[in-house]
């Protein structure tokens, strides 16, 4: 009998419901790759495109998706900008940290992080950043940057797992800083964000993981995310009760309610880990789903994420490997069978 190899993949967790905040008008943010909530302007998030979008940052109104201002960043290459975070700059004022940290071919000698003082007025202007160069132990692609004050972390995007990198502080523009590996993450991380009040979140293409503390923190919840074409952008609302997410090739700005606390809680094994939602000022809070069943919190996302609409190259590579393995096993099993039949003739 010929053995047939069947490659099974775990099912992706059911997509979460969300509230559509608004839709982008036009193609200015067609390849959105990062979001960060403004420290100075209520209802504003800073957004940027992938490498095709040039050296521009956009202040976006979360109620209308109107672009309130455009920052043209002078003197940078914007080789593969993948992440953005708002923290505290070297002057002690709120700053935007823009991470040119993508490295799909794992060949960059160093990555770049650009510090831009957050403007007090939302007007179109040209800014000059302070640029810091960062080196990892080995070249890795990264799409997540987290800021807590003046402390920064990066999370790499691996097919089977990622690394949490802590950056030294203070960063200096004259040297190449050496990042330090401090933890590990699941595969295909596309963004991360520090939570106001404590903790942080890490997303991939199908789910978000909520942690307590600073990276690497303690995992307290897993949540499925709404289906998106290529979800690579995420930030917290200013009150830390919900996530704002966006995707390349998708003109929607979405809100996902988060009910988990920012610290781990002790629960009996048979009890739900959902905590009551506190009353907030979010629009139509009752229409935002809270998909926090025990099954969705504990479901692993690893290979299932790869088969979600992911970074094209990664998903095709894994699928090709799986098909190749199946063909090899079938071929190996068939050879002795055909040889036996032939010898009987």
Burial class (CB in 10 A: 0-12, 13-18, 19+), 301: buried
- Look at residue 339 in the predicted model and tell me its pLDDT: 47
pLDDT one-digit tens code per residue, 256-298 = 999 877 655 443 333 333 333 333 344 443 333 333 333 333 3
pLDDT band at 336 (very low <50, low <70, confident <90, very high): very low
Length in residues, the chain: 345
**pLDDT digits over 65-76, tens only?**
999 999 999 999
- Is the pLDDT assigned to residue 309 strictly greater than 60? no
User: How much is the average pLDDT of 6-15?
Assistant: 46
Q: How far apart are the C-alpha atoms of 105 and 127, rounded to whole Å?
A: 30
Helix (H, G, I), strand (E, B) or coil at 232: strand
Give 53's pLDDT tier (boundaries 50, 70, 90): confident
Q: How far apart are CA 84 and CA 80, in angstroms?
A: 12
Which residue has 């050496």 as its token pair?
178
Q: Does position 127 have pLDDT exceeding 50, yes or no?
A: yes
CA distance linking residue 102 with residue 48, whole number of Å:
14
Q: What does pLDDT average to over the chain?
A: 80
Is the CB of residue 166 less than 8 Å from the CB of residue 177?
no
Four-CA torsion 288, 291, 292, 296, nearest 10 degrees: -160
Of the ranges 6-15, 19-28, 235-244, 289-298, which one carries the lowest mean pLDDT score?
Answer: 289-298
What are the strands, taking DSSP E only, across 213-325? 218-224, 230-236, 242-248, 252-257
d(CA 166, CA 230): 26
Of the chain, the percentage scoring pLDDT greater than 90 comes to 68
Q: Which residues on adjacent β-strands are paired with residue 152?
A: 147
pLDDT digits (tens, 9 = 90+) for 178-231: 999 999 999 999 999 999 999 999 999 999 999 999 999 999 999 999 999 999
Residue 109 neighbours by CB under 8 Å, 6+ apart: 135, 139
| Cβ neighbours for 192, distance < 8 A, ≥ 6 positions apart | 83, 144, 145, 146, 153, 155, 200, 201, 202, 203, 215, 234
Please state, in angstroms and rounded to a whole number, the distance separating the CA atoms of residues 12 and 1: 33
Q: How far apart are CA 111 and CA 114, in angstroms?
A: 10
Domain range 19-290, CATH architecture: 6 Propeller (2.120)
The CA distance from 262 to 220, in Å, is 8
| Tokens representing residue 198 in the block | 């404590």
Rounded CA-CA distance 69/137 in Å is: 38
């Amino acid at each position: 009998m010929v053995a047939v190899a069947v490659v099974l993949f775990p099912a992706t967790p059911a997509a979460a419901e969300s509230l559509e905040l608004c839709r982008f008008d036009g193609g200015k943010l067609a390849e959105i790759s990062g979001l960060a909530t403004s420290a100075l302007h209520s209802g504003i998030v800073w957004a940027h495109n992938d490498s095709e979008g040039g050296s521009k940052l956009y202040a976006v109104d979360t109620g209308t998706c109107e672009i309130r201002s455009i920052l043209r960043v002078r003197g940078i290459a914007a080789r593969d900008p993948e992440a953005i975070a708002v923290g505290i700059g070297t002057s002690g004022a709120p700053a935007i940290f823009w991470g040119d940290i993508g490295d799909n071919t794992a060949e960059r000698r160093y990555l770049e992080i650009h510090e831009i003082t957050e403007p007090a007025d939302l007007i179109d202007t040209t800014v000059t950043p302070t640029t810091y160069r960062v080196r990892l132990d080995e070249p890795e692609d990264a799409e997540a940057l987290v800021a807590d004050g003046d402390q920064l972390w990066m999370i790499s995007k691996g097919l089977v797992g990622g690394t949490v990198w802590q950056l030294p502080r203070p960063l200096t523009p004259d040297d190449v800083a050496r990042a330090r590996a401090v933890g590990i993450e699941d595969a295909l991380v596309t963004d991360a964000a520090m939570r106001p009040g404590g903790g942080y979140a890490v997303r991939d293409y199908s789910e978000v993981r909520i942690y307590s503390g600073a990276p690497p923190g303690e995992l307290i919840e897993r949540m499925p995310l709404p289906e998106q074409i290529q979800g690579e952008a995420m930030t917290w609302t200013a009150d830390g009760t919900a996530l704002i997410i966006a995707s390349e090739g998708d003109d929607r700005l979405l809100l996902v309610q988060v009910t988990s606390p920012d610290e781990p809680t002790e629960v009996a094994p048979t009890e739900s880990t959902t905590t009551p939602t506190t009353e907030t000022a979010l629009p139509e809070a009752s229409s935002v789903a809270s998909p926090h069943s025990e099954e969705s919190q504990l479901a692993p996302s690893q290979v299932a994420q790869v088969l979600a609409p992911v970074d094209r190259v990664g998903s095709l590579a894994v699928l090709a490997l799986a098909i190749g393995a199946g063909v090899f096993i079938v071929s190996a099993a068939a050879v002795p069978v055909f040889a036996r039949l032939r010898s009987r003739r």
